[in-house]
């Protein structure tokens, strides 16, 4: 048999899932920051402070939950600054919107308020925010620190997410192979006859190349159908 050419894990995940689900792992040439704050003065102050960090920053501002929702759908963000007190909702609800969004789930959330309540800060941190701060604490140095920390948040979230996807893929592959084997045995055919069907299935999932076939090394010797 010809040998299989394995496909790298990142490419395998990209082929196995809709492209939209990968947006959370994208990073451009600058930091993309989304601000949710209904106070125009505070919005402008944050914009000026972000610009003074010396880092390349693109900012989008929203004053309502509706505008915030539209901004999340329109772009991918590295950092999301959320004011807790909002006229039509609160910051914890906005944080859940970010963390459940298919394109922005990996963004680093920073909760802010003119006077941060302890109970709000605890709940926000429990939900996975990067930090919770009074607005007066959002200095140039602090914002620079938060943006640099967002790189680590993105990397850790993406690594965990890719690991989960690969684990799901292994389960699905094992289930598919087991079904093929059961079908072959039901009709009294030899297991060897399903090699091509197994590899067709693997190629369809983006786990090997369709024009190079070799079952050797695809499965570990340990039962049942344990994939590397």
Predicted confidence at residue 210, as pLDDT, reads 60
Predicted confidence at residue 90, as pLDDT, reads 94
Predicted confidence at residue 217, as pLDDT, reads 47
Does residue 105 contact residue 77 with C-beta atoms inside 8 Å?
no
Using alpha carbons, list the distances in angstroms from residue 64 to 33, 40, 108, 197: 16, 12, 20, 53
Q: Which residues, in sequence order, are bridge partners of residue 61? A: 35
Length of the chain measured in residues: 228
Look at residue 79 and give its three-state secondary structure. strand
Look at residue 17 and give its three-state secondary structure. coil
Distance CA 193, CA 184 (A): 8
Predicted confidence at residue 185, as pLDDT, reads 59
Q: pLDDT of 168-224, one tens digit each?
A: 667 777 677 667 666 665 665 555 555 666 667 667 766 666 665 554 544 445 444
pLDDT under 50 in the chain at which residues?
1-27, 215, 217-220, 222-228
């Amino acid at each position: 048999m010809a040998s299989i050419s394995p496909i790298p894990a990142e490419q395998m995940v990209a082929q196995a899932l809709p492209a939209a689900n990968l947006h959370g792992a994208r990073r451009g040439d600058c930091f993309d920051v989304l601000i949710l704050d209904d106070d125009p003065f505070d919005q402008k102050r944050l914009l000026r402070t972000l610009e003074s960090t010396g880092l390349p920053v693109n900012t989008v501002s929203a004053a309502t939950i509706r505008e915030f929702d539209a901004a999340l759908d329109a772009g991918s963000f590295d950092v999301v600054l959320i004011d807790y007190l909002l006229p039509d909702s609160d910051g914890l609800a906005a944080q859940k919107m970010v963390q459940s969004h298919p394109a922005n789930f990996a963004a680093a959330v920073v909760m802010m308020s003119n006077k941060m309540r302890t109970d709000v800060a605890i709940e926000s941190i429990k939900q996975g925010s990067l930090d919770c701060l009074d607005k007066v604490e959002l200095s140039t140095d602090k914002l620079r620190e938060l943006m640099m920390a967002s790189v680590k948040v993105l990397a850790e979230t993406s690594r965990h997410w890719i690991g989960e996807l690969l684990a799901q893929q292994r389960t699905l592959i094992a289930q598919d192979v087991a079904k093929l084997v059961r079908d072959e045995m039901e009709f009294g055919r030899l297991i060897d006859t399903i090699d091509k069907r197994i590899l067709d299935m693997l190629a369809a999932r983006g786990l090997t190349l369709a024009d190079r076939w070799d079952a050797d090394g695809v499965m570990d010797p340990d039962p049942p159908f344990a994939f590397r």
